[in-house]
Structure 1
C-alpha cells in the first residue's frame, strides 16, 4: 500500500513539474504588468449583458489566456526584443519552447471555455481565433513582401486581428445574456482605435520607447497606420518605403523617418482618425 501511495505521489509531483516547465514562457509574460484591456472590456460589457459571475470569470480568464499566448507568438513573428520593458519570452526560453507553450495555452483556454457548458461556445471560439490568425497572417504577408496595403485593407486586417479576441469575449458573454444586440460595430471601432493608437505610440511616444526598442515598427518593417498614410499620400517619394525595406536598427535613420512622417502630416492625420473613432 505504501509503495502505491509513494508511486502515486511521485507521479503527481512529476506532472506538476511537467506543467510548470510547459508553462514557464507563458507565466513569464503573465508576470509583466500589462494594460488588461480585455479584462476591463469584459467587465464593462457586463454592464449591458449582466451575465452571472461564474460565467463572467471563466470568459475573462479564457480571453486573457488567449491574449497572452498570442503575444508570445507575436513577439516571435515580429522578432521583437522587448515586451513591456523586459526581454521577450523567446529570448529567455528559446523559440521552440515558447511556441509550444503558447500553443498549449491556446488549448488550455479552449478547455476553460468548454467549462461554460454551452453548445455554441466552441463555434464562437473557433470563428474568432480564425479571424485573429487571418488578420495576423495578412499583417505578416505585407511586411515580408514589402507590399503596402490600402487604408481600407489595413482596417479590415485590424478588425480581424485586434478585434478577434474582443469578439470572442463579447460573443461568449452573449450566450448567457438576454441582450442579443449587435455589438460588432462598437467592437470594430474599439479594435481600430486600440491598434491605430498603438501604431501612433510606437513611432511618436517617448513612453513607448522605454517599453519597446525605439520605433520598433521600423525595425520590424511593419506597415503601421502612420506609415501607410505617408507612403500612399506621396507615391513619388519612396523614402519611407525604402526605410521600411531596410529593417533598420539605426536610430538616426529612424529619427529621420519620424521627421518625414511629421512633414507629410501622417501623425496629424492619425490623430484626426483617432478623434473620429473616439466620437463614434
Structure 2
C-alpha cells in the first residue's frame, strides 16, 4: 500500500520540488547552503502536499499558486528541524548529519530564522489575512511546544498523557492542520469544509507524531533516517513511555525514573526499558490511539463525497499509521 500511494502522489512531489528549487533562495549563498541541506535531503513532504490536495478538494481548478502556498508549511517544518537538532543535540536527520554539526549552532539557528521569515512573507502574498494569521499562530504554537517539551525533559514525575497531547498538538499537529486549512482558505471553501480539513489535519498530525514516537523504539535506523532510540536517550517523554509508566509497578517506575534522570544511559538500560514497554502493551496502545485518530479525521472528510482527492487523503492517512520510516 505504501508504494502504491507514494507512486500515485509522485507527480505532486515532483512539482513541489520544482517550485521549492525556484522559490527558496536567499541572496546569500551561505544561507542557501544550510537551508538546502534540510530542504533537499528527502523527507516525506506531507505538509505541502496536504495544502495542494486541500485546495483541489475544495474546488480550486487552477492550482499553480497553490504550490507556492504549499511552501509555507514546508519552510516552517524545515526551520523547526534546524532549530530542533540544535536544541536536542540530534545526531542524524533524514539519514544525514544535521546542519549544526557542519556549520555550527549559530549559523544553523539563523538559517532557521530565515526560513521562518520566508514562510511568513510567502503567506502574506495571497491577500487573505486568514492565511497570514493562521501561519503566525502556528509558528507561536510550535515554539510553545518546544518550550513545553524542554521544560518536561527528564522530569517524568509530573508528566501525563494530557501533557503529551498538549505538546504534540503544538509541535506537530498544529502545522499539519494549518497545511490543510490554508489550502481550503485559498480555494474559498466555506467554514464547514475549512473546519473538516483543519480537523483532518489535526488528527493526522497527532497520529503522525504518535507513530513517529513508536518508530523511535521499533524502526530500523537505516529506514527511519534518524537514530532509533534517540528520543528515549534524550529523556523525551513520548506516548509509549507515558503509558508504560502509568501501568508500571512502583519498583519498575522507580527504576525507569532513575535511568531517565541520568546524563548518559547504557544500551542495556535503554533495551530494558524498551522490552518492558513492549511487555506492558505500550506499543499496541500507541498504535491503537493513532488508528482511532485517523478514523475520526477521515470520517470528517465524508462531507466531500467520494471524490478522487478525498480518497487520496484517506489513503495518505492510512500510510501515516502503516509507515515504517
**The two structures share one fold, judged by TM-score above 0.5:** yes
Q: Is the 8 A contact 1:58 1:116 kept in 2?
A: no
Match of 2:104 in 1: 94
TM-score by length of 2: 0.75
Structure 1 segments, 4+ long, off by >6 Å, are none
Verify the 8 A CA contact 2:218 2:228 in the aligned structure 1.
no
Gaps of 5+ in 2: 1-24, 297-325
The one of 257, 261, 266 aligned to 1:241: 257
Q: Does 1:77 align with 2:68?
A: no
Counting only pairs closer than 5 Å after superposition, residues 201-212 of structure 1 correspond to structure 2 as 201-207=215-221, 211-212=225-226
Are residues 1:261 and 2:270 paired? no
Q: Which of the numbers 228, 231, 234 marks the counterpart of 1:217?
A: 231
Which of 1 and 2 has greater Rg?
1
- 1:16-95 to structure 2, matched below 5 A, reads 19-51=28-60, 52-95=62-105
Higher relative contact order (CA 8 A, sep 6+): 2
Pair 84,249 (structure 1): closer, same or farther in 2 beyond 3 Å: farther
SS at match of 2:128: coil
Q: Which moved more, 1:204-213 or 1:234-243?
A: 204-213
TM-score between the two structures when normalised by the length of structure 1: 0.86
Residues 32 and 45 (structure 1 numbering): CA distance in 2 closer, same or farther, change over 3 Å? same
Q: Distance in 2 between matches of 1:26 and 1:214?
A: 24
Alpha carbons 1:218, 1:254 under 8 Å: kept: yes
Paired positions, count: 265
1:164 pairs, out of 174, 177, 180, with 174
Equivalent residues of 2:85, 2:98 under 8 A apart: yes
Unmatched 5+ stretches in structure 1:
1-15
Structure 1 counterpart of 2:268, from 248, 252, 257: 252
CA distance in 2, matches of 1:169, 1:277: 18
Matches within 5 A, 1:117-132: 117-132=127-142
Q: 3-state SS of the aligned residue for 1:120? A: helix
**Please, which of 189, 193, 196 is the counterpart of residue 203 of structure 2?**
189
Aligned to 1:12: none
C-alpha contact (below 8 Å) 2:26/2:32 kept by paired residues = no
Tell me the distance in 2 between the aligned counterparts of 1:137 and 1:97. 21
Aligned to 1:277: 293
SS of the residue corresponding to residue 126 of structure 2 reads coil
What SS does structure 1 have at the residue aligned with 2:43?
coil
